[in-house]
Chain A
C-alpha cells in the first residue's frame, strides 16, 4: 500500500511541475505577442501625426516641396507595407524615419519655423514617437529573450517542444538602417 501512495505523490508532484512550467511559458509567450502589438500601436501613432506636421510647415517651406513630398510618400508606403509582413514593414518604416530626419534637418535652416510653437510641439511629439517606437521594439526583444530563455533552460527544454512552444525571433534592424540618411535639399 505504501509504495503505491509514494508513487502517487511522485506523479502528483511531477504533474504540478509540468503545469507550472506550462503556465509560465504561456504567460511569457503572451507577453511577447503584447509587446509586438505595442510596436504596431506606436507605428500607427506616427502615421497619424505626420499629416499635421506636414501641414504646419508647408506654408513656410515653399522651396522644400521635394522633402515634404518624400515624407508624405514614405508615410503612404509604410501604411500599405503594414499588411506585407514584418520585414517589408520594418523596411518601409525605416525609410519613413529617414525622410523625417531629412525634414528636421531642413527645418533647422528656417529660424521662423524653429521658433514656431506649433512646429516645436510637433517636433517634440515626433521625437517621443520615434523614441516610443524604439523602446517598444527594445521591450519586445526583452520579452523574446525571457521567453526563449524559458524554452531552453533545463528542465523546461524537455517539455516545451512537445507542448508546442517554439522560439521567437528578435526584432533586428534592417541593413539599410545602418546607413546614414541622405539629406535631400533639392
Chain B
C-alpha cells in the first residue's frame, strides 16, 4: 500500500526532525522544505497528499505559500502551524484546512493529519 506523502515546511530544522520522526512512526512518508520557494517546488515535484506549513518564515511567508498552493491544487489539505495563536483569527488563514499552534505535544497535529487525510 502506498504511504501518504506529507510535506513539512518550516525554517527551523528542529521542527523538521521532530515532525519527521513522529510522523514517520505513524507510517507517513515525510518530505521537508525550509522556505517558501523550496516549498512550492517540492509541492509540484513531490505531489504531497498533505502539507504542514509554518507561517513565519523569512522571504515568502506561509500565507503567501498557502495562497499559491491552493491556487494550484485547492483540494490538497494544508495545515497551518504557528507559534502564534493570534494569527488564527486572521482571515487569510481561512484558505487552510486547519490551524495548529506549535507545541511539544504533537497529539493535536497527528489527529489533524489523520482527519484531513481521510475527509
A binds B: no
